[in-house]
Amino acid sequence: VELLKPGFTQSDVNQALRAQSDADLAFDIFRWTSQQRDYKHDHSTYLTMIQIAVAGRRHRHAEALLEEVLAGVCPVSLPLYNSLIRFCCSHRCLFNRAFDVYRKMLRDGDYDCKPNLDTFTMLFHVLLRRFNKLNVSYVYLKVVRSLSKQMKALGVIPDTYVLNMIIKAHAKCLYVDEAIRVFREMGLYGCEPNGYTYSYLVKGCCEKGWTGQGFSFYKEMRGKGLVPTSSTFMILVCGLALERRFGDAVEVLCDMLENSMAPDFLTYKTLLEELCRDGRGDDAFEYLEEFRQKDVAMGEKTYKMLLNNLHFVGR
């Protein structure tokens, strides 16, 4: 407080707040200064106080400041808006509040306060965290699509990370055609697909039953030197095995092992069982021995379970 001389400005308050190591005392200073004659907080002091409150884990203080900003008690800036959205996105109970801040941004008459790439990145990310159950995912997919349209309308150019989230959202809901359309548009934004891009497409295709299309994306990404995630490898192996494309399935599984990833028990079981059901029991036993030598993570217990299962299915 001794830093604040009569007639202090917002810049002086910012300096005083940052000089205070205790978040509670900083909040007291913030409240005290707001009551002084001829002084009013602006977007910079609110931003400073919110950053201090969040860093000090004083979430009630941050929520109070959030409500004040939404109520319009001070002029707002883009950094302040984004700081509030970031705070809301980090707390599940404030999920809806993040979109309240976003809607206020859209209504703001100041063009400099319109949502930018950081804004959309945070909102897409918090939405994707809720894509856990298929029926719930369909609800949030509508929000993802709406955000995508608004992002285009505002002239915000997405990056690979944002486009990947949009692709993932559609792929998880089995709207694979739409995911592929977004993938084809990446070049228009100067974005290069990465391993995650292709992994989402491969998984989406396999879950949709388009295993052939998924395998094509796998070959395309491997041709670019990109490596799928372990879950992508496994779902592709299972999909190919169920379609009796054993040569391709073994190729993908061996590629997985060569990239130091270990398939789970179900992946091995699916491939080997389908070989047996196709009358290729001898091949299944040979592949099991080959996989055992290549997979350093395959324990004796897993090997014996697979071996016993082959004997059972082979009957």
pLDDT tens per residue across all 315 residues of the chain = 667 888 899 999 999 999 999 999 999 999 999 999 889 999 999 999 999 999 999 999 999 999 999 999 988 999 999 999 999 999 999 999 999 999 999 998 778 899 999 999 999 999 999 998 878 899 999 999 999 999 999 999 999 999 999 999 999 999 999 999 999 999 999 999 999 999 999 999 999 999 999 999 999 999 999 999 999 999 999 999 999 999 999 999 999 999 999 999 999 999 999 999 999 999 999 999 999 999 988 889 999 999 998 888 766
Domain boundaries, the chain: 1-114, 115-192
Domain 1-114 belongs in CATH node 1.25.40.10: yes
Say how many CA atoms lie within 13 Å of 265 toward its Cβ.
12
Q: How far is CA 288 from CA 91, 177, 272, 302, in A?
A: 47, 36, 8, 11
pLDDT of residue 260: 94
Helices (H), the chain: 10-19, 23-34, 43-55, 59-70, 78-89, 95-107, 117-128, 134-153, 160-172, 176-185, 195-208, 211-223, 230-242, 246-258, 265-277, 281-294, 300-314
pTM: 0.91
Spell 194-226 as b/e; 16+ CB within 10 A means b.
Answer: ebbbbbbbbbbbbbbebbebbbebbeebeeeeb
| Nearest C-alpha neighbor of 98 from the set 111, 108, 87 | 87
- Look at residue 99 in the predicted model and tell me its pLDDT: 97
In the structure encoding, which two tokens stand for residue 55, read together?
């860093």
**Terminal CA-to-CA distance of the chain, rounded, Å?**
85
Euclidean distance between CA atoms 255 and 258, whole angstroms:
5
Those residues whose C-beta lies under 8 Å from the C-beta of residue 299, and which sit 6 or more positions away, are: none
